Amino acid sequence: MLDKTIPFAKVFMRRKSGAPIPVFPLPEGFSYTYFEDGDELDWARIETSAGEFDSEFAALLYFKKEYMPEAGELSRRCLFIRTADGEKVATATAWWSFIGDQRRAWLHWVSVDKSFQGLGLGKAIISRVTELMKMLEGDVDFYLSTQTWSYIAINIYRKCGWEPTDEKKLYAWKYRGHYKKAVKLLEKYER
């Protein structure tokens, strides 16, 4: 869940190659499943419930723009957690982005449906998708983009081997000064 009552600052995080990936098991009654055609609707619902988008329509537009050009990759990179009844309630994607002209492994859009937060699903899917990224990309540095509003998630990322990074290439002109602001603010919320 996003906490928009605190100041916003962009946060980039990195999991260095070789860092251990702790295992956080799923609670009983939940299981993992990979993306299948039509799951973009579940993705949009989960992301909107978690506060990442203002509407499912906006989330769906983003999904189609970002992921559908590489739709063949989704079935091995977009992970969901589902309930025993088959309802998809959490998602994360082992994707990639470019830093300059270098392709890098990026963790995208980790979210848990608002009704299922606090059950350990976030830790479980982060550790599982980080392991998936290692399998797909090799044991290289991985990146993710978040914000101070997601300080609860940032604490979970840290438990999974991720740390804020101040790499200059990540903080384009739009985000200059955000790293220092974020680190100072996050000290108050570190657990």
Q: How far apart are CA 48 and CA 36, in angstroms?
A: 19
pLDDT digits (tens, 9 = 90+) for 84-111: 999 999 999 999 988 778 889 999 999 9
Helix (H), strand (E) at residue 89:
strand 88-99
Q: What is the pLDDT of residue 84?
A: 97
Q: How far apart are CA 154 and CA 110, in angstroms?
A: 11
Q: If pLDDT is split at 50, 70 and 90, which confidence band does 168 have?
A: confident
pLDDT of residue 82 exceeding 90: yes
The structure tokens 């082992």 sit at 94
Q: What is the pLDDT of residue 56?
A: 98
More confident of the two residues 98 and 74: 74
Of the listed ranges 7-16, 41-50, 82-91, 179-188, the least confidently predicted one is 179-188
Please state whether the predicted TM-score (pTM) of the whole model is above 0.75.
yes
Q: Count Cβ atoms within 10 A of the Cβ of residue 23 and give its class: 0-12 exposed, 13-18 middle, 19 or more buried.
A: exposed
Q: What is the pLDDT of residue 97?
A: 87
DSSP 127-188: HHHHHHHHHHH-S--EEEEEEGGGHHHHHHHHHTT-EE---TTTS-GGGTTHHHHHHHHHGG
Mean pLDDT in residue range 56-77 = 96
pLDDT digits (tens, 9 = 90+) for 173-189: 678 889 899 999 898 88
Of the listed ranges 70-79, 167-176, 177-186, the least confidently predicted one is 167-176
pLDDT of residue 118 exceeding 90: yes
Q: What is the pLDDT of residue 17?
A: 95
| Domain boundaries 10-189, corresponding CATH code | 3.40.630.30
